[in-house]
Structure 1
């Protein structure tokens, strides 16, 4: 009986660790537990989540590895300021951005980083892409052009940008894959709730990028990717201003077109 119970607990442990990790991560990211605060003791966390000490310790260890907390004997587990966090970590980005109320300031900050990295990546891809790389990029573009709903558009757009990163054959640049994957999902959440035609209007810029890479023209690829990201940056900025303005006005019917 004891052996069977132990095996059952072992199977449940990863799920329990994830549950504790996700809850604490979100609370820290959303400042429910602010920087400088000390987390409850292990015993209190065990009681709160109904888990064993091993689960709590694994969750805290992971939070520490992502830079959200520091663990010091006799000083407890302290929440670190955002500047210490691994902001390109997939989990951290998800906790920060959130599915319901995206943090547009963070989105704009990530877009600025993308404007630095991805045009250079497109230029490198133009000079380094293999035949297979170019096929992946063009296939993703075709999927974008054929997409007819949010899920297929998001998947195709991700595939396009990630294929270009892969085509650089630079392992450091490829390290940004998970961050771009996560941020594109959130950008689409904002896009769908904002301006009609956002996706379609940016397709020619994506096509120009793919064409420049196909031609091996690094400068043209760089400029085309700058157009892709600059368009999104502008829309996110306008959406932020528009959202703040609309918050001060009476609500309108859901089917009413939003001002651009």
Structure 2
């Protein structure tokens, strides 16, 4: 058997311990065993355990404090937009309904305003990248993986076109959100292409209000499909009021 390199061992340790925490096998508030016990349990060297703990601490899953040991943090302190953390939260049915809706809600806060800013600030190069991504989406609409990659490029190109360094820093978060949602939206991908084209047209025309509205149409289409998906049926929509209306 080929021996794993140290980075490979660290990655395996991060994966095993991170997944155990995220899936509730090691509960919030638990103080982890000492380093040497973790090394024995996971068949790893102590330096591997130490590096894995550092990585999981950076992802918000663990805290390390003198005299308190290494403790599992509560879910609300996790870096939920980290691709690894989202990946560990997936089960055979995908992500939890409420988490998916929270991710969609986050997009709804960021992306319409990003589209409006892009309409005001996009350079010719920015527009060319958005247009190229839409062209690829249309060409690859029947090839799921290529279509997904093009859709990501479209949305990330709009963030870049805001020419706002803070919004641009959301690229990783939006990428992770899109990856989490595509399981539920890729089968209706083609039906949302016209809405994406409307976003591009509004940005190219410099019409911020139209760009904002068009992006809301894109996200509304996605949300409607998610809520009607049998895989997500049975849970309450957290944005519904007692009267049954969506706010």
Q: TM-score range by the shorter chain?
A: 0.7 to 0.9
> Within 5 Å, which residues of 2 pair with 1:1-260?
12-97=5-90, 101-147=94-140, 148-192=142-186, 196=187, 198-239=188-229, 243-244=233-234
Asked whether the equivalents of residues 104 and 240 of structure 1 are also in contact (C-alpha less than 8 Å), the reply is no
Shift of the alpha carbon at 1:75?
A: 2.5
Shift of the alpha carbon at 1:79?
A: 0.7
TM-score, normalising length: structure 1: 0.83
**Unmatched segments (≥5 aa) in structure 1:** 1-7, 246-260
Asked whether the equivalents of residues 227 and 233 of structure 2 are also in contact (C-alpha less than 8 Å), the reply is no
Task: Map Cα deviations across residues 68-106 of structure 1 (whole Å, 9 max, x no partner).
Answer: 111123322111111111222232222224575322211
Of 152-161 and 166-175, deviating more is 166-175
TM-score, normalising length: structure 2: 0.87
Shift of the alpha carbon at 1:44?
A: 1.9
Task: Map Cα deviations across residues 29-66 of structure 1 (whole Å, 9 max, x no partner).
Answer: 12121111122321122112222111101110111112
Superposed CA RMSD: 2.1
Task: Map Cα deviations across residues 202-222 of structure 1 (whole Å, 9 max, x no partner).
Answer: 111100001101111111000
CA distance in 1, matches of 2:11, 2:66: 24
**Unmatched segments (≥5 aa) in structure 2:** 236-247
Closer/same/farther in 2, CA of residues 130 and 99 from structure 1, 3 Å limit? farther
